[in-house]
Structure 1
Amino acid sequence: MALKVFDLSCEHDHVFEGWFSSQDSYQDQLARGLVRCPVCHSGQITRRVSAPHLNVSHLRAEPAPRAESAPQARAAVAAPSGDQMARLQAEVLRQIRRIVRQTDDVGARFADEARRMHSGEIEERPIRGTASAEECRELVEEGISIMPIPDILDDDRLQ
């Protein structure tokens, strides 16, 4: 199965990729409210114009011959098939969920706990929780690194 990769954005201009089995799958998931911004969780998603892949190899000039007589080896990777790509994506999601499960869920105390760790008041540990957009902005301005976790990666929020 070949996957379609769409460039998407939300009403706040957060840009992200969406991977779908088809255009119809994208439209169906969008209509059911399943496509959400991974940054702000907005459901107002639009598909952005993306550059198509153009085969312009025939327009390239022939490279100049190398002075060395021995050919240089190049690293190469075979592109995965659609089925391999789907299995790879599923494994990546499983691993990310495993990492998220290993964090301490501090809930609405997230901003306070992050600040206490940053100041050295408490020992650092991996945490997750909830914070308002303003709290997130303040944490970043204070030099505290944070990262949004989409609901799909947090088993506790999927229930």
Structure 2
Amino acid sequence: MIRYALACDHAHEFEGWFGSSEDYDAQADAGQIGCPTCGSTAVTKQIMAPMVAGTKRNTPDMTPAAREVMMQAMAEVRQHVEDNFDYVGDTFADEARAIHAGKSENRGIYGEATPAEVRDLKEEGVNIAPLPSAPVKKASLN
């Protein structure tokens, strides 16, 4: 696993873990890496010091089994949202504002929003969170 320090075009910093540098490149090229703060997919790697192994044996931060558990949990969260929330498509920002203002029924919704819409919603105090990405189908991997 490789850990990269990342930043979006809105200067939000975060980190991402990838199986290899090629995995990062493929996901970045496909627009699959999104900022957890604003949802922007304009993400770049940041300069960071390499981790150098010392004389002590280091264990990886995340075992393959732990990674699998995390990926399964994220898939279950996404499935729960898809099964129980209303899909509002590209009207997400307008509907989220209406719910926040009490002009629409208070319910869980999901849909699409541009990075600018996400930023505006957060500035307005509307509670939103990015939905975990859909799992990549193994058949589509090289």
TM-score scaled to structure 2, two decimals?
A: 0.66
Shift of 1:81: 6.0
Separation in 2, partners of 1:93, 1:35: 15
Give the one of 68, 75, 78 matched to 1:97.
Answer: 78
After TM superposition, the structure 1 = structure 2 runs for residues 1-159 of structure 1, keeping only pairs within 5 Å, are 3-30=1-28, 32-33=29-30, 35-38=32-35, 39-42=39-42, 45-53=43-51, 82-101=63-82, 102-149=84-131, 152-153=133-134
1:97 deviates by 1.5
Unaligned runs of 5+ in 1: 57-77
The RMSD of aligned alpha carbons is 3.3
1:50-92 per-position Cα deviation (integer Å, ceiling 9, x unaligned): 3455789xxxxxxxxxxxxxxxxxxxxx977632123123212
Distance 1:80 1:87, change over 3 A: farther
1:25 & 1:142 partners in 2: Cα distance? Answer: 36
CA contact (8 A) 1:97 1:154 kept: no
For residue 154 of structure 1, report the CA deviation from its aligned partner.
Answer: 8.7
TM-superposed CA distance for 1:128, in Å, is 1.1
CA deviations over 1:84-120 (Å, ceiling 9, x no partner):
1231232122222123313211112222222221222
| Percent pairwise identity | 33
Aligned pair count? 128
Q: Which runs of 5+ in 2 are unaligned?
A: 137-142
Q: Which amino acid aligns with 1:46?
A: T
> Which TM-score applies when normalising by structure 1?
0.60
Larger radius of gyration: 1
